[in-house]
Amino acid sequence: MQYRAPLWLPGGHLQTIWPALFSRRHRGPAPAYRRERWTTPDGDFVDVDFVDAADAAAPLLVLFHGLEGSSRGAYALAFADWARRAGWHYAVPHFRGCSGELNLAPRAYHSGDFEEVGWMLARLRERHGRPLYAVGISLGGNALLRWAEEAGDGAGATAVAVAAVSSPVDLTAGALAIGRGFNRLAYTPYFLRTMKPKALAKWAQHPGLFDRERVARARTLLEFDDAFTAPVHGFRDALDYWTRASAKPHLQRIRIPALVLNARNDPFIPARSLPAAHEVGRCVTLWQPPHGGHVGFASGPPPGHVLTLPEAVMGWLQAQR
């Protein structure tokens, strides 16, 4: 990806924060979603938002959102705009608890949730019966890559190609980075302001599921993952979760075309932790532009727009047909 940040938007922090809050994410009116509620194999539910194409035989683009994201996020709307203009079907499956309503089961979602991703993709492929492409943003990208790794040669029966954007494929490096310095002041409270109330509501649903007081005291993602995410999802502790859920150690196992895009000035993800060419398999393409921030990649004069990102990613995905 040949991305050059606008001169008026210097540095990884501004390139992360400004596009998420102010940059334009669609041409014309916002895409109108149609929502479906699916019952999961364990009796819970997930909500999936769709934008339907006029041509029933058009390809399907599936987007997996990031931590505490939804179909209303800037990047989700930007990819929806791309799909609408390209005449593709578009789907955004919400991870459990992220669609505006607390889920029912004694679990939530996490960065290595490849079984859930696989179930969602298989159901979409079975129902739509058309070429399927998938994009994962941040956490959703790591989970998508983990699915492709675990599926191996079987992934091609479900998806033509996948892309991960600004994904922390080394979760330990990313989680520790977000807990330091300016990151801890700016980004950690942003995530915890929704994660902690939802976790505490989950405890009210299922008393004793985890140590409620530890979650209430959590001030970093390390503390939160150690008290909630890890024990609720079967991991020993936060380090065990980050180690087992990270996509980076298994990138050589991917057997379908996969794009891994990370800006080297992403404040969440240290550049030194990004995968190198010798650490990935022949099916994996690495894009690591020097600028872009975390799911930023804004372009144009102020306030800018985030439409360059889906155009670049979808251009690559389409070339894999």
pLDDT tens per residue across span 153-168 = 999 999 999 999 999 9
Mean pLDDT of 115-122: 98
Within this chain, do residues 90 and 205 fall inside the same structural domain, yes or no? no
- Of 245, 278, 309, the one marking the end of a domain is 245
- Judged against a pLDDT cut of 90, whether residue 32 lies above it is answered with yes
pLDDT at 130 over 80: no
Q: What is the pLDDT of residues 248-296, one digit of tens each?
A: 999 999 999 999 999 999 999 999 999 999 999 999 999 999 999 999 9
CATH number of the domain bearing residue 312:
3.40.50.1820
Distance in Å from the first CA to the final CA of the chain: 19
Residue 90's beta-bridge partner residues?
A: 51, 61
User: Can 49 be counted among the known catalytic residues?
Assistant: no
CA distance 282 to 171: 23
**pLDDT confidence bin for 184, thresholds 50/70/90:** very high
Residue after which a domain boundary falls, among 215, 245, 275: 245
Tens of pLDDT along 63-77? 999 999 999 999 999
Catalytic, out of 23, 71, 111, 138 = 138
Provide the pLDDT for residue 208: 98
Co-location of 44 and 180 in the same domain: no
Q: Does residue 5 lie within any of the structural domains?
A: no
* Mean pLDDT, the chain, integer: 97
Other residues' Cβ atoms within 10 Å of the Cβ of residue 132: 21
Catalytic entry in 111, 166, 266, 299: 266
Annotated active-site residue in 65, 94, 128, 294:
294
Residues 271 and 135 in one domain: yes
Determine the pLDDT at residue 131: 85
Same domain, 103 and 165: yes
Domain hosting residue 217, numbered range:
171-245
Residue 254 lies in a domain: yes
Residue 2 banded pLDDT, cuts 50, 70, 90: confident
Active site residue 266: yes
d(CA 228, CA 196): 9
User: With left for phi above 0 and alpha for psi between -120 and 50, is residue 245 left, alpha or beta?
Assistant: alpha
Based on the domain organization, do 77 and 126 belong to the same domain? yes
**DSSP 8-state symbol, 228:** I
Identify whether 6 is part of a domain: no
pLDDT of residue 66: 98
Same domain flag for 152 and 77: yes
What are the DSSP E strand ranges found in 52-159? 60-64, 89-93, 132-137
Structural domain count, the chain? 2
Q: Are residues 19 and 54 in the same domain?
A: yes
Can you tell me the distance from the alpha carbon of 58 to that of 32, in angstroms, rounded to the nearest whole number? 18
Does the annotation mark 206 as catalytic?
no
